[in-house]
Structure 1
Amino acid sequence: MEVTRNVRLVAWMQEHGHSSASLAEAVNLAMERLTGRPGGHDGSSVRAWKSGRIRWPNAASRRGLEAVTGLPASDLGFVPRGRARSNPGLNQEDPDMDRRNLIGGLAATAAVAAAAPGIAPRRIGMNDVKRLQTRFTEIVASDHRHGGQLTIEQRAAALADEALNLQAAGSATQRVRSNLYAAAAAFRSSAMWAAIDGRRYVEAQRHMREAQALAEMSGDQAIKFRIWSHAGSMYRHLGRPSDAFAANDVARGLHITRRDPMFASLGLARQAAIHGTAQERTGTKRAFDQAQEAMNRADPHAPRPVWLVAFYDQAELDSLALSAYLALGEYQTAEAHAHRCLAGLRPHMARSRTITQTRLAHAQLAQGEAEAAVAVAMKVPAAAATQHARVSRMLNEFGAALRATAPGSINVQTWTEHTAAWRASA
């Protein structure tokens, strides 16, 4: 049998910025949502589809592909084995049905309601999307003030569900539906980040899977970048640098990083932080230099998503550098980035300021500057010290290191009394 390259699938992948590995991952996630079991595809599976070696994937794989792309398998260049389709309706799934399955049947309920006699379906428009996005801005702001709180995670997840309910509430153009899926993916990714920040990693992975499936249906490159970049950060915090590199590579491979250097800069900065966790000094420095160069090239006035504009700037780049060099044990360099970050942080970045102060205290203590370190650590607000999971853990580690390096000193006494006052006020 002659093998013919599947040019339609290749073209779709190029248009949407997919590598073979990233498409395989997206299909696996969609298959898990549709069947309850994750798919077993990898990059070689997709390469077999692209090359034409597999002309007609099995039914579960086709459903996964159609859910990801929103197109019937035949429109992706696939051809049934050994026969023409006598009844196309029997051999290709309705992509809208895949979407309904993926969001728990909400759209099916809307279709039934729309078909009911005497009930006119509501028309959903961009103003509905904008109202959701306005509320999303409030959640982003709350995250920057507090970070990691369960209430933020719950609010973001509820907003994602609301966006999906709106999908089911009436009729809409494809543009509006794509924007609703993108909004739901953004909200779910904020729930994911709140869970990561609060060290609730099981919940974070659940939100990640939801967000990835929604992002694929939206086709929005920016939100795809955010989710995969968050996944890289999650695996870095879990101490799994290989997985962190793989996830962050998906984000960095998207077309948006070539269109906008600011996205490229963030991807490189997070890559450098992963190099730090992996104890790779050369990779850390090279990636940070590249991240800085990309940021310097970026147009500061270019339109960008609210979540990116709200946090990524020179101060955040220095915050990631602080984390990396602290992990590498290069404490003087880490301290320099900490001071630079604190000087550049915008007023609304309360969560970032708290984390930076805590890391700065660690860097100073490791250099033998116990008095200065304690003074910095005492600037952390009591609420963050007792309620933010990451900050609480880092401060507990700080106290243990202080007692180990200066047992019985006045600095230990000062710190012990201060933390007692924190606990009493909690």
Structure 2
Amino acid sequence: MRHIAIVGSGPAGYYTAEACTKTFGENARVDIIDRMPVPFGLIRTGVAPDHQSIKAVSQRYDAVSLGDNVRFIGNVSIGQDVSIAELLSLYDAVVLATGAPNDRTLDVPGDDLPGVIGSAAFVGWYNGHPDHATLSPPLNGDHAVILGNGNVALDVARILAKTPEEFAGSDIARHALDVLAQSSLTHITIIGRRGPHQIAMTPKELEELERLERADMQVSASDFPPVAEDAALEPGLRKSVGLLRTFAGRDTVNKPMRVTFDFFAMPVAVEGEGKVERLIVEQTQVDEDGHLAGTGEQYAIEADMIISCIGYRTPPIEGVPYDVDHGRFANQDGRIEPGLYCVGWARRGPTGTIGTNRPDGYDIVERIASDLASGVTDRSGDSGLDALLNERGVAPVYFSDWQRIDAAERDRARDGAPREKFTTVEDMLAAAHGEDAAR
């Protein structure tokens, strides 16, 4: 029997568990360990609440958890309740699938002023993550500036610009919906250090912006290269650039909010007296080889809030080699050290889509199978972990407990919404134990 522990219950973790069941069959016992009492990680608290079709992939993960040889073990914190060294003594292989939940820092003067918010925190706030549910974004001003030219920046802009009615059918947290309904924002600026040809925005997300009821898109035609150069772009990027050209080429629509794309602008400082008041940017240029350089010309953008969507980092774990430069675990093709592996963003950094994690998970399991092929071990696996947690007074949440949380969240949903999430661990645990007070 092979005993495998997977730390993290997001897409990377579940695809790895699925691969284990297909590769080892009944000869494996897989424990998926998470510090939260609820599974699915990024699917639950990272994917935008109005993207319910993407969140539906969790149904595939349900099937994995309901198998006989996979357990979800929530409410267990690595480093606090159990160490990596202890897991390595209990399991034949330990896979770190912790993702990259921490914001990459902006690293400019003034980036610690109140009103500068990382996208992980802001997205966690509107998605009801317990770590960020108490965030108080300053939405009582006129202008929000978003840093970044990827889909996260578009998600944030869309959430800020939507009317309350446009959230119908979403699982946005009630506290965020109430605050956004009182927002006084009239202008959102999306800042990119490079130009339209270097964006990481997909057509679907840009098209969603175009359909917003109260917001008009604005792009300067002077930011684009000659249209003939679009032909050399990858098809998806070419379509995205085409949409931006459409925004630039149409007349201004009389709507109460505008979303402006400001390209070739590099943040150099945040200024304000006790809070964010303006962002200082330097104009940039990109040469034929794609190298970015500042021009020395600077200008100020008045701002009441700045949301930084410039990337994420995997949090270090004590005793695990870490690649500081790339913000991920140090690894060679997913191997960290004997018996210890990483997968997904914890392996490669925050790149790719949710689906990218599936082949990544299967690849890691192939490596595990190869590494274990010639060895015979006598690890205790799940029974050993249970005994250790019981000895320490740790009360795990299992998948059947999550099903009670899930049912309670669905029961308390507002009209038209799929669920109303619990936003504290305490309420999650109460629901897991069937306590009516959590409802």
Same fold (TM > 0.5) = no
- Band of TM-score, shorter chain: under 0.3
Whichever structure has more helix as a proportion of its residues is 1
With normalisation by structure 1, the TM-score equals: 0.25
Structure number with the bigger relative contact order (C-alpha 8 A, sep ≥ 6) is: 2
